[in-house]
Structure 1
Amino acid sequence: MTSVDALTFDDLTPDDMEAVLSLSGEAGWTQVADDWRLMMGLGYCAGFRDPSGVPIASGVALPMDDRYGWISMILVTKSWQRKGLATKLVDKCCDWLEERGITPLLDATPAGRTVYSQMGFHDLLGISRWRREGGVSGGKAMASPAQAEALTWIAYYDAKVFGAYRPSILGDLMTRGPAFVADHEAGFLLGREGRGVTQLGPVSANDEAAAKNLLDTAIASISGTITIDAFDAQEGFASHLMACGFTVQRGFTRMIRGTVRTMGDPALAYAAAGPELG
């Protein structure tokens, strides 16, 4: 095999879409071209290319605002794994953010958490991915569809809950999947269509009842398989997910690098947007 020294590190652009979709597909992840375009358009997407110029590894640094940024899509094709490329990609993405004064965050798998802990990341929150197969009955329409003009208050509400102002990301999600709001601006739910699945999140609400109503409304609008990355601290919401036919697939840990140890208002956070979007 060609040595790592023969690889080149380079920006990844929409011209590389076929290759990056292959990377995420090989890993069993659900991102579609719209996800990659969003991250490439708003952030820094780079990776390693083999001598023929084909991307064999990727990483994304996605600024949320001028304070916080997300690291994701750390992917290495199988034949190039266990050669240190993933760690190099995380380092490069962290450097890109920190050179701009932006604090890096990420959602780590259990295996990744061990590595990232050694790279200066610290735990913030626990997350579980729940999955509901298509064809399961249930769900009631109890919240209202989000109209385009709702983006203004949704973005400010999200900034209070999530801890960073990200209207461009939320606006993109509002055009791509389920989007519902609770009465009196008491919460919202967004989502997006992925490869073979609808990903719900973020879900933020003033109270558990509003969060459950938003979830029920989304379920009623979807016939296929659903996933949602729910925060472990919201035990009542987790019980409702179970009652609605969801089962836990895997866990994540939200981590941050730097001196910050709290972010946003976790009491109002019920589900994340996903490991690639925070």
Structure 2
Amino acid sequence: MSVLPWPWHFVSVSPTEQQHRRELLDLRGYYAQISFLLVVLFIRFYTRYFRAAEPSNDSRARRKQRSWWDQPPFANWIETRRQYTVCIIWLGWLLSLSVWNSGNDYLHLTKALGHVALSQLPFQVLMSPAFYLVSNPSSPSTMSLLTSISQPALTPYHRLFGRVVLSPLLAGHAALYLNFFAQSSHPDFGSLLAKRVQDLDVQWGLGGLTLAIMILLFGRPLRTTSWVQLWPTSSIKGRRQVFYYVHVLLVMLLCIAAYGHVSQAQIFMHEALGASVINMICCWKLS
């Protein structure tokens, strides 16, 4: 049985080609963000003109009888098959954007994975309930208002978006870069990896990857997981407070790490900060 060869390789590029690749990376980020906005507009149009036209008795009947798509894929899982499918499809779209026009350039693909992933962070912020503690967790976020989807129905997508979409892209970006460093030699350090781990930009990147993993581990606010037992509280409200403070702190640190990692990510971190302010104002007005 033959195995398809890996199509990307370490290649040398001229300054002109490097500038062209930089422009392609920026274009990928724009396409990724525009495509998300188009999906939001489509959902808004659908919920406003099609779902609103459905008879109310039919919607009540659907709520009483959940379909196979609206059930978790495994026992004790929270999110449904439909929610996983939507996020996996979006991951596939972002992967295709990363591969698009990458040719056989290994480093171009590597950079594209990280660039496309960070372009989605502002939308992840807009999906989150900003006043999770001081108001009802079902209070609408900005994305809930834009799509006319209730916050309880949107929050699972917020969780899965981080686990199924952003994390694999960032992990792939880090793994490919570390592989490149390990396989590249350096005249003074033996390998490029030994040299680059001493550079601040790589240290920021490794710190950001560590924070992303920690966000994954601390991603269940109301479950009795082992890390929750570290705090002397057993109430649901207490667990929610612990989760919220830890989660927000880790996300803030991740944004700082991404900002220091590479200059091209800074525009997305500015957008994420703006999205956070907008989301807080929106939730405050509606709380």
Shared fold per TM-score greater than 0.5? no
Larger CA Rg, structure 1 vs 2: 2
**TM-score (ref. length: structure 1):** 0.25
- Structure 1 or 2: more helix by fraction: 2
**TM-score (ref. length: structure 2):** 0.24
- Structure 1 or 2: more strand by fraction: 1
